[in-house]
Structure 1
């Protein structure tokens, strides 16, 4: 194994003997020089391993030797993880700690210093789904206002395009990939229809209502667009006429949320989340929202819209025929 030419300074640990401290130093040097991990990741891995060694030192009543660490048992690792969880450490931090310990264990094995089999026997902690916070109704509407970008040095048709896309995300609850995947022929003109057919995950299609004012914004954009928009081609195109990249809309929202004083959580996906949340807050039916979002499972919609158990019980109590 190739080592960095930089001199290695052994990390001094009160809870570990010299041999284990030296191997920890060499492991961090390997991660920095050969794996090129970021300084923050290295710092977190080192901190997690120090915390584990400090725990084991107290748990076993003695300093941790290289031989003792290699003989680590699954129950020891579980006890450490339980201690960390008792300190109110979240699932992501626990997962990172376990990943760091496993990395160190693999390093020791490659170096011929022993096999820490207990680390691979531990299941990674579950992490709750992280969802964007809904954007307030007034702010969500302003994302679809082309006048919000009047000071930018961009062609007006681009303002109109971005406003139409964001109005569609919020007005119909589409994923950004679904909106940008629409063909010109998929979108009716104002007054000629109020439904679009979108292709979602798993190549499944569904019918989604679309507001007339959203169709008007799309019509304004198509009238201004300098590029040809054939019926079978994408309705939303970039500056050179190719299909619009999601990154362009993401960057647009980054600029706008700064102007509107909104947090980093205001993303294109947050507009879809806001669509569902605002419908629900106004008495929308959970099953109907499930269909609109294209979720195969109602439980997915429940998590996605942030519904709590009390809300479900309220729906049950008011809607059950034998109430």
Structure 2
């Protein structure tokens, strides 16, 4: 069952919801959860599904909460009620259960745990207060280095270098990397860098979406949190997509996804990540990259071109402009560095 869970992605989770219902996934995901917590957690994730949260969000919360509860199953098997999750017990988890995770991953997991406890308080009425609300619950320590929390992104030069290595890459001898895949990869990274699409939004694009994009020069989609937004496609992105659609294989089957893997299956997030890692090495870009970092790059490049924050917020689909303001720190750090390099007059 665990092997099946590891293969579940936002794309095939949609198929599971449509064809099998959510319960098989939820029960498999939390099959090892201790009985005192099992049914409450099931209610929590089911209600997220009923509320219309995106599959990707439900998956992220599910994995985070499973990790959280597994820690206590392994280290505190006698724990048998929500009331025993005191600030002191949570301190231990935050100190020892987050090993080898980045600050952004820690923050996301903390947000998932916080949402679970909020549900237990407000929806299930099991607790009267959220233990994470108490000041004694530990928070992520922030490093003194002022650039620690800046989003990793590609410079314009690195972005162009990434595209260039794809354009100039030759086909391999065993022909596993075919000509149509080269056209796909050029289009994929050109579009991600010039639109700021989330990788899940990109992978879920259907052929009807692609035809509408070519016709209207923009992508109308319902993104994270069921929010509608319109993403303009510039001339380059439109041209790259049009070139890909001309050579895109037309596999037999029911799916109608635009972006296909080598085996003609819908491209998944982890596929995009692996492809990016290949080109990152070829382009000699020594940064901790992921497809989401291309979204950071898009926002940063807009800011460097003096685009106002409100426009960037709308393009990214951020609910709160405070989320968008993190990109201003990139420019702040650049200014500070520039001043620090001045001679000592």
For 2:282 and 2:191, locate their aligned partners in 1 and report how far apart those are by CA, in whole Å: 21
Q: Which runs of 5+ in 2 are unaligned?
A: 1-72, 76-87, 96-101, 107-133, 143-147, 335-345
Which residue matches 2:152?
Answer: 133
> Which gives a bigger RCO, structure 1 or 2 (Cα 8 Å, sep 6+)?
2
Which secondary structure does the structure 2 equivalent of 1:306 belong to? Answer: helix
Structure-2 change in CA distance of 1:308 and 1:216 (3 Å)? closer
Seen in structure 2, the aligned counterparts of structure 1 residues 143 and 307 have a Cα distance that, compared at 3 Å, is closer
Match of 1:150 in 2: 170
Aligned to 2:329, what secondary structure does the other structure show? coil
Could you tell me which residue of structure 2 aligns to residue 284 of structure 1? Answer: 307
RMSD: 3.8
Q: How many Å separate the matches in 2 of 1:195 and 1:215?
A: 9
Superposed CA offset, 1:211-268 (max 9, x none): 1211111111111122249998211122232211111111111111111111232321
Match of 1:234, SS? coil
- The question of 1:166 aligning with 2:189 is answered yes
CA distance 1:304–1:283, change in 2 (3 Å): closer
Cα 1:35–1:253, aligned 2, differ >3 Å: closer, same or farther?
same
Superposed displacement of residue 142, structure 1: 3.4
Match of 1:233 in 2: 256
> What TM-score does the superposition give when structure 2 sets the normalisation length?
0.51
Q: Could you tell me whether the CA contact under 8 Å between 1:189 and 1:216 is conserved in 2?
A: no
- TM, length-normalised to structure 1: 0.54
Task: Name the CA distance, whole Å, in 1 between partners of 2:265 and 2:218.
Answer: 25
Separation in structure 2 between the aligned mates of residue 230 and residue 287 of structure 1, nearest angstrom = 42
CA distance in 2, matches of 1:164, 1:175: 15
Does 1:257 pair with 2:280? yes
Deviates more, 1:231-240 or 1:272-281: 231-240
Higher Cα radius of gyration: 1
- Take 1:254 and 1:132, find their aligned partners in 2: how far apart are those partners? 18
**How many angstroms apart in 2 are the aligned matches of 1:35 and 1:176?**
34
Which of residues 252, 271, 286 is equivalent to 1:248? 271
Aligned residue number for residue 326 of structure 2: 303
Give distance in 1, aligned partners of 2:264 and 2:156: 32
The 5-angstrom pairing of residues 51-70 of structure 1 reads none
Aligned residues: 204
Distance (whole Å) between structure 2 residues aligned to residue 163 and residue 204 of structure 1 = 28
Distance 2:214 2:231 in 1: 16
1:197 counterpart SS class: strand
Structure 1 residues 287 and 197, CA gap change in structure 2 (3 angstroms): same
Aligned to 2:291: 268
Structure 1 residues 276, 237: CA separation in 2 closer, same or farther (over 3 Å shift)? same
3-state DSSP of counterpart to 1:240: coil
Contact kept in structure 2, 1:190 and 1:212, CA below 8 Å: no
How many Å separate the matches in 1 of 2:326 and 2:306?
A: 17
Structure 1: segments with no counterpart, 5+ residues: 1-33, 37-73, 82-90, 96-119, 312-323
C-alpha contact 1:143 1:163 (8 A) present in aligned 2: no
Moved over 6 A (4+): 229-232, 308-311
Is the 2:193–2:298 Cα contact (8 Å) retained in structure 1?
Answer: yes
Q: Check conservation: 2:221, 2:228, Cα contact below 8 A.
A: yes
Aligned mates of 2:278, 2:296 — CA distance in 1: 20
2:313 maps to 1:294: no
